[in-house]
Amino acid sequence: MQREECRMSGGMQEPAGAGMITLDDLDNMTDELGADSAYNSNGSIGEEAEPMDDGEQDRLLNYWQDVGRGHQVEVPNEMAEPIQQLSRNNRSEERQRVPFLLLSRKEKCGEVLYEKRQYGKGKWACIKMQEEQYEQSICLGFMKLMRYICEQNSSGVYLGMTIPIVTIVHTDEARSGMTRSVTVAYYVPTQHQDQPPQPTDQDVSIEEWPPTVAYTRSFGGVTNEESIMREIHLLAEVLGSPEPCLRDTFIVAGYTNPAAVNRQNEIWFLQRP
């Protein structure tokens, strides 16, 4: 993966990224509103689907705005429609997972220390962010990707949610700290891989990532600069020096919302070409 580009260039999914207001938040809020999830995975409306009334839509937007303020991010009013659409289409069984081949797994005393996976070539919608805090970059980046997912694309269709949402992060060679520049990326669903709809937002680009081998380790809890650096050092210790991985480019993969009690994340090391 090249530092200045939104793509993997090393050897090449599942836990949504830190700082994001999505997935479990949406599940919980939709349950609270009593809204049914009658949309199918293609964004069409089932026979019994009914639109949210203005009061429900306002409550959902206000909820997102409250969560956003916790990340020092303002959620604008124009996010109301994408939020509503993603909420109505957010059934967990319809979240497509990024495909991979498990090459090997190392365990100790029943604990999985890491997995070695082969990810195939694929197209991703990417956006580069450089906010003061990691959480702000992730939250703002995801909102732009969310608009792309929710019809603001050249096809004008709801694309469907895929997991994980990944974040490319960079450190110095000594792995002593993270840079502010991150890339938030969404895997284009399988049915759109051949001809991905183009984003209407010029900040979002479609990139084709080459096949990549990734060494992955799961972790729970918050994902911020401190926790990410800790997980990078833990995986480096488990792998040891012989593993031919990039030294300054990593991926944080998120499968659950940061407000969830049991958050599921992964840190990925990328094998050199």
Q: Mean pLDDT score of the chain, rounded to an integer?
A: 76
Q: Which residue has the tokens 């916790």?
A: 70
**pLDDT, tens only, 209-236:** 999 999 999 999 888 899 999 999 999 9
Distance CA(197)–CA(188), nearest Å, equals 9
Comparison of pLDDT for 49 and 148, the residue scoring more = 148
Residue 200 falls inside a structural domain: yes
Comparison of pLDDT for 34 and 160, the residue scoring more = 160
Indicate the pairing of strand 100-108 with strand 111-119.
antiparallel
* Number of domain units in the chain: 1
Q: Report the candidate in 12, 17, 3, 25 with the shortest Cα–Cα distance to residue 145.
A: 17
Residue 3 falls inside a structural domain: no
> In the structure, what pLDDT confidence band is assigned to residue 88 with cuts at 50, 70 and 90?
low
Average pLDDT over residues 95-124: 94
Assign residue 121 the CATH number of its domain: 3.20.80.10
| Integer CA distances (angstroms), 199 to 126, 196, 210, in order | 10, 9, 21
Residue 64 falls inside a structural domain: no
- Structural domain of 104: 95-271
Comparison of pLDDT for 56 and 116, the residue scoring more = 116
Residue 187 falls inside a structural domain: yes
Contacts of 102 (CB under 8 A, 6+ apart): 115, 116, 117
Query: What's CA 183's distance to the chain center, in Å?
Result: 10
The backbone torsions φ and ψ at residue 124, rounded to the nearest 5 degrees and listed phi first, read -130, 145
Residue 234 falls inside a structural domain: yes
The helix (H) or strand (E) run that includes residue 147 is helix 134-149
% of the chain beyond a pLDDT of 90: 41
Residue 254 falls inside a structural domain: yes
Residue 27 falls inside a structural domain: no
Residue 33 falls inside a structural domain: no
Token representation of residue 216: 């992955």
Residue 58 near residue 263 (C-beta atoms within 8 A): no
**pLDDT, tens only, 164-207:** 999 999 998 788 889 989 999 999 999 999 999 999 999 999 99
Contacts of 187 (CB under 8 A, 6+ apart): 13, 96, 98, 122, 123, 124, 162, 166
Strands (E), the chain: 96-97, 100-108, 111-119, 122-129, 162-163, 165-170, 182-187, 205-209, 212-219, 245-254, 265-271
pTM, full prediction: 0.74
Average pLDDT over residues 58-79: 62
Q: Is the pLDDT confidence value at 41 over 80?
A: no
